[in-house]
Structure 1
Amino acid sequence: PWPIVGSFTAVVVGTVVIGNLYPSLYQRFRVSPNELVEETPYIEHNLTFTRLGFGLHDGACAEDGVGTPCMERRAFAYDNTASIDWTEAQEQMAGLAVWGARPLLTAYRELEALFPYYGFARVAIDRYPTADGELTPVAISTREVEFDGIQDKNWQNIHLRERYVAGVGAVASLAATRSDDFRPELLLRNIPPEAVSGPTAVNDLELERPEIFFGTRTQTETRYVVATAGTEQFAGPDGSPGAPGVDFPEGIALESTLRKLLLAWHFGDPNLVFSSELSDQSRLIHRRQVVSRARAVAPFVDFFEDPYPVIADGRVIWILEGFTSTAAYPLSALYDFGPRRRRYVRNSFKVTVDAVTGDLAFYRVPVRDPLADAVEEAYPDLVLPMSEMPEELRGHLRYPRVLLDLQNEVLLQYHQETARTFQQQQDVWDIPRELAVNENEVDYAPEYGVYRLPWESESRFQLTTVFVPRGRENLTAMVVARTDDRGVPELTLLDIPVGDQVSGPRQVESFVEQDPDISEQFSLWRTSGSQVWTGHLHLIPVGNRIVYMEPVFLAAEADAIPELRRFVVSDGRRVVMTPSLEASVAALAGAPPVGLIATDPTAPAVTATEGGAIAPDPSSTGGQADAWPAEALRLLEQAEERARQGDWQGYGAALDELRALLRRLGGEAG
């Protein structure tokens, strides 16, 4: 027994010494006194592989696009003494989306739902060409069936009637401007959908097949619908009975009793067997939620980004972002991606779903991704090359928000380039905060816009966000993300030296809150019972400076249609708020270092000076002193019109504006 006892003792002692004592002694006497030297190789590997895993490698991006996704890092040469080319700034800001999802959904539901069983689930910001070929940001939302709005929820209505099983078209509006009544400038409206004409119209919004059989709403209540071609429903464009797979989804033909029995058993609904309204020509359609439809075909691909609709070839096409991801990538840090934690993520697939037929197509983005390569090898008939995607759709590819959100989280620490800086966490970043509804603070969110970077000649559709140093509010970096027409990601990180003290989002919003004229206007609106909130604060580089723009919304009550009433523009030190973007830019170009509230008729006249900068017109002798009667008359007429409409909240708001104008004039006269 002694050999056994000795062996057992040796194992126990060895386990204690080797498993616990030796590592602690090594850490205490070898690593701790030389921590940076000992850990540098491991930190460098972690930095390199984490950046590679999340597409943030700061290296030579492959010019042909077939390479590892990477990030171009540039030092932004900020110069607070440089003059701002306000003509260029105005052109750039004119391409920024000022309408957010909340005010747009409220407006769309009130103005364009038209029937109680239609609704709008979400809004997407996209870009479409104008008549002169320039891109402009457009907000678009599909009109889908809202189950709770169906008054009589009998079996026929929720499963057989086209008006209750298919949405109709979409609503679109300019995302960067407003109408004369402060509401969204609609481009596509009504049932059947009509694209507007005139100076505000954009191209490619005509809908010839407006049916939305496949959308984003969950199908819990209507797991299936049945389409039977006829002249009154599920018909073709000429009014004749429609063709499956062309005018409505192909579905499953109910051509035999056995098939009906099996489907009735699967869905737990005997009506599929006994209903006299079904025939051999009827088609059962299910999996109509576009994400679940794509996931059923490719469960190995992640779909965490909201699908967005594109109007192309006279119909609505959904575009989904397909991701590959794994936690098995070596030496990379773990980050949350959807419900899981991942060390590696790629946006390697763009998936399209036809809203009429439900046809799916998977397109491979030409970037290096072994996981996507494996999918192509395993399912060669599933994945198509990006070159086969219709050109009309390729023009609407974009950088996914969910991917940039993930990369932002990684960059908070992994932007640090040396092992020493990372080990000591000397330069950690944070996501800044900004104001939202009811002055609540939220994390600064990336937003889409059409503008160009200072070293580029053409405007592009890109997603922008910013960073601040941890514990501080001044700007330290900006990230601009976009894709080319093949979906290849392009990521640019602009480093802004902290010593330049460039204002961050909350600092600029503090300037707005502290300005006496602006705060007085906000107080007047709120005193009259209106809700006032600011939209997304945009930051864009112009030359060697950063300019800021923020919309201000007014709503008479909680569920009222929001009105875009003001535009705040800032150069980081001064703020101006007027009823139009043009007036704000013009006022700031010649404004004193304090806030100014102006209106379109009273804004200083401007001329273009050498170099394109905007300056006050020296020949202008107008200003508020000459133009205030017209503005006062406009406000009075607006108040009278609101009174005739019975809009007493709006009536009070107009009177408050008139009172504020007269008070300012009285102060100037005094």
Structure 2
Amino acid sequence: MNKLLQGKGKSRFWIGIILVFGFLIAAFSDWIIEWLWLGSLGYEQVFWTIKGTQFLLLGGALLVALLYILPNMHFLANQSKTINFSQSPLGQLNLEQFTHKQFKTIFYSFGVLFSLFFAFAYYMRWDSYFRFHWNETFDKVDPIFGLDIGFYLFRLPFIETIQNSLSILVFFVTLLMLVFYLYSGSLSLQGSSGISARDSVKKHLSLNLGVWLLLLSWGYYLERYKLLYNPNGTVFGAGYTDVHVVLPVLWIMVIFCLVLSVLAFMQYFISNFRWLIIGGVATAAVGIIGQGLLPTAIQKFQVEPNELQLETPFLEHNISQTREAYKLNRINEREYNARDTLTWEKLENNTSTLQNIRLWDPRLVIQTYRQLQEIRLYYQFYNVSLDRYQTEEGYMQMMVSARELSEEMPEQADTWVNRHLQFTHGYGMVMSPVAQIGTQGDPIFTIKDLPPVSEMGLNVDQAGIYYGDHDPSYKIVNTDIEELDYPRGDQNVYNNYDGNGGVSIDGFFSKLLFAWEFSDINILLTDYIREGSKIQFWRSIRERVRRTAPFLQFQDDPYMILVNGDLKWIQDAYTTSPHYPYSERYNGQLNYIRNSVKVVVDAYDGTVDFYAIDEEDPILDVYMDIFPDMFKSLNEMPEAIKAHIKYPQTLFEIQMDIYNTYHMTNPQVFYNNEDLWERPNEKYGGQQIKMEPYYVLSKLPGDDNLQYMLISPLTPNNRDNMIAWMTAKSDFPQYGEVEVFKLPKERLILGPAQIEARIDQDTEISRQLALWDQRGSRVIRGNLMIIPIEDSFIYVEPVFLIAEGVDIPQLQRVIVTVGEKVVMEPTLGLALESLFGQRPEERIMAATETVISQDSSQAQVQGPAQTPTGPQLEEFKTLWSEAQRALRDGNWQLFGEKMKEIEDLMNEE
């Protein structure tokens, strides 16, 4: 019998252990998994620091709330003993049946619940606390109060959180007590005799009212600093009326509320609410008049008639602070005397620029990649990025796309084993030069196929993409099921993952944990998991870096790079704030931004490295103090990776949009908006859209070296002519240098919309495009490229043809214009010859011309091929047109004959 009882006791013990363990998994599985995941990346410090801070804030706020609320609830519960509820408005609730102990339980429960809500708000403010506690100085002061800018970005937001939350807490608790006393009959308002209540009730209310008024006084004191964020004046920030009217009124409100709080506290000793009521009415009157009526009157009758004169100092504050917050004060402004003076000699001196003019549109070429290079249904290309590479043929701008695992699988193959154990990764990438065109208008691939092969010495050694831009589902690797690498003929090549990425899942409890987290019992039941198996989750690059560094901002898409045979991703990270005094807010969200961090993620191992590229950023300094082992210096970044760093488009667009207004540094010009700029429009898909900045590989005026840079033309507000162009360099050691080239204002420089109009007005081009649009195909004009060459511009726009039913855009023509003339030819080289006449013996466009092989389905760039000139050029055009006509008609024999004739013509001496 004893053994039986002992056995039952042990059973209950183990059942209890299992239940406790199950509860812990259910309650804390998210945290456990996050801890394991960050530990696998070597960033446990992030987990413990953030969670520790959250619980510190939660515990501190909860303690403060309980110390305030519970004594009040205790007093209310004691008062309930002396209240006759049957004679009060609450009589219908039959509250007499509750005992004092039950009242205490009810009030205490409410107090704890309200305290938890209050504390949870602080649990979510861990990042604000980070900045408050580890604050840095900017060594720059605001122009009104003379405080360091760091006070506004780091300390003030958390101080305001404390003031606001405490004010709300005290207000609602006091309101609750007031309502309870009124409805219970303990407090009543009597006309001439004033407030009727027991002394204990009056003292209770007066103490809480005094605390609230004290907090209100503190709030008005802090409100002074918020004037520097006022968005409603002539400029963003404090204006004349704010400084000379509102600010003094706020000081008066601070004093009035302070006096009122003293009067409220005095009620504990002197039961006379008269002066408190009079003071409250006076304070409300001062608030209404001083913060509403008086500023409006001063603004309308004193400021508006003399606005420029009175607001000039504040305009200067806004201009200088905004330029500092967005680094506009570091933009180098230069004059660019654009002229239509392009010659063959100048083109010869800029051959490398011409050979890298982007003809392929990323919005269209992605479809071509999908049709020609996905190869199997379980692969997919999601986006195309631009980069530059040193190749056997020189320094070239490339289009790059990762061949990732598709999120959708064929229905017959969509099993749990396939989705999570066998189809675990993408494989390889495709790469093609931005300016090279195949015979049928397709891109010429530098890297292609499975396994990846390269035409220019850019070899891919580790092609597996276990971490990519998409595929959010989890994968289990190194199991008894081999993982598909790539197809080869009728067979497949398989492999087992041997990298460092993932969390170990070879134990029962770890399988149970992940089965619960992902709501998938198959993880627990499968027999394929073995010792050394790992589960990979949060595999998307954006989610991966966001979870690793949740205190940074991520706006741009990550882009893939090829480094020494390995595939990696680069993600730009930002530090931002909406609290920079006097700085104009961008889209109402931020008014300070720095691209301070570059994140590099290995596509095979999933390792995440953070590189600090702007160590002058005080916000980044805060996080480097908190996480000293997390950030590497720029000097630690391998040179091979540094060669692929790009100035991010998001930052460039923000700076450009702000600069369009804040290049005006003269207050009068700024006030009148005399020289307001904007981003130009371009035509795409038959619609007018805002032109996006674009990357170019070019030489800046006066520079002998190719630079990879982001560029955008700028136009005057509501005008189409070009007024300037802006560029940001991406190559070291000039990385991050932003320049604006101002164009002459006394003569017309054509902008993108005007060039588009000229193309539309060209009868020959319009006729040809309309003809193509009517023959079962669709014509799309790609990005218009405006390329500066020495002291001139060349405008280049590709023309794509998409056949009906086949979503493969073909690059059929290139439109080029310089000065007054517009031409459209099959290649950029032919277009330049059409513009400038017969080229000299030096063949500057050899690398961009396509040599047609006998196999009409192939096109290769063959070094410096002989380019047709003079009569040969006319014969080439005729043969090309006949070949294209044969291609459209499906006459492959005639097409092949014409291609052979073209090859013979181009090989002639």
User: CA 1:311–1:6 in structure 2 vs 1: closer, same or farther (change >3 Å)?
Assistant: closer
User: CA 1:13–1:327 in structure 2 vs 1: closer, same or farther (change >3 Å)?
Assistant: closer
Pick aligned residue for 1:112 from 345, 367, 373: 373
What's the % identity of the aligned pairs? 29
- Give the Å deviation of 1:435: 1.3
2:814/2:828 contact within 8 Å kept: yes
- Give the Å deviation of 1:286: 0.8
Compare relative contact order (CA 8 Å, sep 6+) and give the higher one, 1 or 2.
Answer: 1
- Give the Å deviation of 1:631: 4.0
Which amino acid is 1:71 matched to? I
Task: Give the structure 2 partner of residue 23 of structure 1.
Answer: 295
1:250 aligns with 2:501: yes
- Give the Å deviation of 1:585: 1.4
1:75 aligns with 2:323: no
In structure 2, the residue corresponding to 1:279 is in which secondary structure?
coil
Task: Give the structure 2 partner of residue 490 of structure 1.
Answer: 737
Which amino acid is 1:130 matched to? T
Task: Give the structure 2 partner of residue 174 of structure 1.
Answer: 433
Task: Give the structure 2 partner of residue 143 of structure 1.
Answer: 403
Task: Give the structure 2 partner of residue 402 of structure 1.
Answer: 650
User: CA 1:607–1:281 in structure 2 vs 1: closer, same or farther (change >3 Å)?
Assistant: closer
**Structure 2 unmatched ranges of 5 or more:** 1-272, 487-491, 844-866, 899-909
Which amino acid is 1:325 matched to? T
User: CA 1:230–1:34 in structure 2 vs 1: closer, same or farther (change >3 Å)?
Assistant: same
Structure-2-length-normalised TM-score? 0.62
- Give the Å deviation of 1:115: 0.4
Task: Give the structure 1 partner of residue 459 of structure 2.
Answer: 206
1:365/1:486 contact within 8 Å kept: no
Distance, in Å, in 1 between the alignment partners of 2:700 and 2:795 is: 15
Which amino acid is 2:438 matched to? S
Distance, in Å, in 2 between the alignment partners of 1:630 and 1:535 is: 25
Task: Give the structure 1 partner of residue 568 of structure 2.
Answer: 317
In structure 2, the residue corresponding to 1:42 is in which secondary structure?
helix
1:93 aligns with 2:354: yes
Deviations 1:257-282 (A, max 9, x none): 11211121111111111111112221
Task: Give the structure 2 partner of residue 419 of structure 1.
Answer: 667
- Give the Å deviation of 1:289: 0.4
Distance, in Å, in 1 between the alignment partners of 2:893 and 2:620 is: 57
1:399/1:481 contact within 8 Å kept: yes
- Give the Å deviation of 1:488: 4.2
Distance, in Å, in 1 between the alignment partners of 2:280 and 2:535 is: 70
Task: Give the structure 1 partner of residue 528 of structure 2.
Answer: 277
Distance, in Å, in 1 between the alignment partners of 2:887 and 2:756 is: 33
Task: Give the structure 1 partner of residue 748 of structure 2.
Answer: 501
1:365-444 correspondence to structure 2 within 5 Å? 365-437=613-685, 439-444=686-691
Distance, in Å, in 2 between the alignment partners of 1:638 and 1:446 is: 33
Deviations 1:176-208 (A, max 9, x none): 111233210101111111112xxxx2x4x2111
- Give the Å deviation of 1:493: 0.8
1:333/1:343 contact within 8 Å kept: yes
Task: Give the structure 2 partner of residue 216 of structure 1.
Answer: 469
- Give the Å deviation of 1:14: 3.2
User: CA 1:536–1:647 in structure 2 vs 1: closer, same or farther (change >3 Å)?
Assistant: farther
Pick aligned residue for 1:584 from 831, 835, 848: 831
Distance, in Å, in 1 between the alignment partners of 2:708 and 2:649 is: 13
1:632 aligns with 2:878: yes
Which amino acid is 1:470 matched to? N
Deviations 1:582-632 (A, max 9, x none): 121122124xxxxxxxxxxxxx454579xxxxxxxxxx99746x7655543
Distance, in Å, in 1 between the alignment partners of 2:505 and 2:318 is: 57
User: CA 1:420–1:381 in structure 2 vs 1: closer, same or farther (change >3 Å)?
Assistant: same
1:352-367 correspondence to structure 2 within 5 Å? 352-367=600-615
- Give the Å deviation of 1:81: 6.7
Deviations 1:419-446 (A, max 9, x none): 1111111111121111112x22211111
Which amino acid is 1:305 matched to? D
- Give the Å deviation of 1:547: 1.9
Task: Give the structure 1 partner of residue 590 of structure 2.
Answer: 342
- Give the Å deviation of 1:80: 5.0
Pick aligned residue for 1:190 from 449, 455, 469: 449
Which amino acid is 2:565 matched to? G
**Structure 1 unmatched ranges of 5 or more:** 58-69, 591-603, 610-619, 655-670
Deviations 1:153-182 (A, max 9, x none): 111011100xx2200100111111112332
Which amino acid is 2:882 matched to? L
Pick aligned residue for 1:556 from 797, 803, 807: 803
Give the RMSD, CA atoms, in angstroms: 3.0
Distance, in Å, in 2 between the alignment partners of 1:509 and 1:235 is: 47
Deviations 1:364-403 (A, max 9, x none): 0035200111111110111001111111110000011111
Distance, in Å, in 2 between the alignment partners of 1:138 and 1:6 is: 76
Which amino acid is 2:468 matched to? G
Aligned residues: 595
Which amino acid is 2:575 matched to? T
Deviations 1:339-370 (A, max 9, x none): x7101010000101100010110000035200
Task: Give the structure 2 partner of residue 661 of structure 1.
Answer: none
Task: Give the structure 1 partner of residue 718 of structure 2.
Answer: 471
- Give the Å deviation of 1:642: 5.5
User: CA 1:279–1:22 in structure 2 vs 1: closer, same or farther (change >3 Å)?
Assistant: same
Which amino acid is 2:324 matched to? L
2:477/2:496 contact within 8 Å kept: no
Distance, in Å, in 1 between the alignment partners of 2:353 and 2:278 is: 81
1:101/1:123 contact within 8 Å kept: yes
1:148-167 correspondence to structure 2 within 5 Å? 148-151=408-411, 152-161=413-422, 164-167=423-426
In structure 1, the residue corresponding to 2:654 is in which secondary structure?
helix
In structure 1, the residue corresponding to 2:358 is in which secondary structure?
coil
Structure-1-length-normalised TM-score? 0.83
- Give the Å deviation of 1:545: 2.1
In structure 2, the residue corresponding to 1:160 is in which secondary structure?
helix
User: CA 1:644–1:582 in structure 2 vs 1: closer, same or farther (change >3 Å)?
Assistant: closer
2:615/2:621 contact within 8 Å kept: no
Task: Give the structure 2 partner of residue 536 of structure 1.
Answer: 783
2:557/2:571 contact within 8 Å kept: yes
Pick aligned residue for 2:321 from 36, 40, 49: 49
Pick aligned residue for 1:226 from 453, 476, 479: 476
User: CA 1:79–1:488 in structure 2 vs 1: closer, same or farther (change >3 Å)?
Assistant: closer
User: CA 1:104–1:16 in structure 2 vs 1: closer, same or farther (change >3 Å)?
Assistant: closer
1:435/1:441 contact within 8 Å kept: yes
Pick aligned residue for 1:34 from 306, 310, 317: 306
Distance, in Å, in 1 between the alignment partners of 2:880 and 2:638 is: 49
Greater Cα offset, 29-38 or 178-187: 29-38
Greater Cα offset, 323-332 or 639-648: 639-648
Task: Give the structure 2 partner of residue 596 of structure 1.
Answer: none
